[in-house]
Amino acid sequence: MTDAPVLIATEGATLIITINRPAARNAIDRATTLAIAEAIDTLETDDRLRVGILTGAGDHFCAGMDLKAFLKGERVEIEGRGLAGLTERPPRKPLIAAVEGYALAGGFEIALACDMTVASQTAMFGIPEVRRGLIAGSGGLLRLPQRIPRQIALEYALTGNLMDAATAHRWGLINRLTERGGALDAARALAAEVTANAPLAVVATKQIMASAHNWPAQDVWPRQNAILEAVIASDDATEGARAFAEKRKPDWSGR
């Protein structure tokens, strides 16, 4: 197997990004951050790609920032983009985390920056940074209380305790829970359900759901309607209606 820190594979309209540092539990150093950022850029700019899957090689998703790299003075974040070039600026297109084993600290924050998570029963999540004299500064303290009740998020953030997959699924942090070794295949299946739909409509739907909570109340409907009008005016909207009337699968153009 290549010793590249990140592996890239294209399967139809899905880009699979694999963090490839299994000996380090896929911890993120500078080279890994840059490679993930480059892969995310490919997802964003290649019109043939509609969904990304982010996973880890070996038995774990990601154990967070590489502390050895941190001690050497490596900057493992990218200015304006965050850890893995992702946590501060997620892609416009949907991104699915496929989690086996540990998703801890920055690894959990990377998963939280994804739009959906598929995980096996082996998965363990947590933001234990307080145990190392740090804080979860790559979005964990921002996103976790948006996803689960604030009191529960506070407990995990302040104690550094880990959350098993069954608990994460119960709190709604996991979309689909699988047997051990099944997370990536289940993520592929979920991606296929997304890529069957109109690309413009998918991106616009994510844009609204990701952004609307930050819009001023008086702007919510005008901003949504502006996005909606662009989608309605697209060739894909016409194709979707025509395909429905003709009882066939639509042939999306992405325009």
Please report where in the chains the tokens 């080279």 appear, as a residue. Answer: 31
Q: Are 142 and 202 in contact, with CB atoms under 8 Å apart?
A: no
> Which candidate in 11, 44, 74, 129 is catalytic?
129
Contact (Cβ atoms closer than 8 angstroms) between residue 80 and residue 44: no
* Confidence category of residue 2, pLDDT binned at 50, 70, 90: confident
- Two tokens, residue 14: 């899905």
Question: Measured between alpha carbons, how far is 83 from 77 in angstroms, rounded to an integer?
Answer: 4
Across 126-154, average pLDDT: 94
Beta strands at 102-104 and 116-120: parallel, antiparallel or unpaired: unpaired
pLDDT tens per residue, range 171-212: 999 999 999 999 999 999 999 999 999 999 999 999 999 999
The CA distance from 17 to 39, in Å, is: 7
**Domains defined for the chain, CATH in brackets:** 6-195 (3.90.226.10), 199-245 (1.10.12)
Of the residues 44, 77, 109, 246, which is catalytic? 109
Task: Give the span between the Cα atoms of 206 and 222, in whole angstroms.
Answer: 17
pTM over 0.75: yes
Query: Is position 109 annotated as part of the catalytic site?
Result: yes
pLDDT in tens, 229-241: 999 999 999 989 9
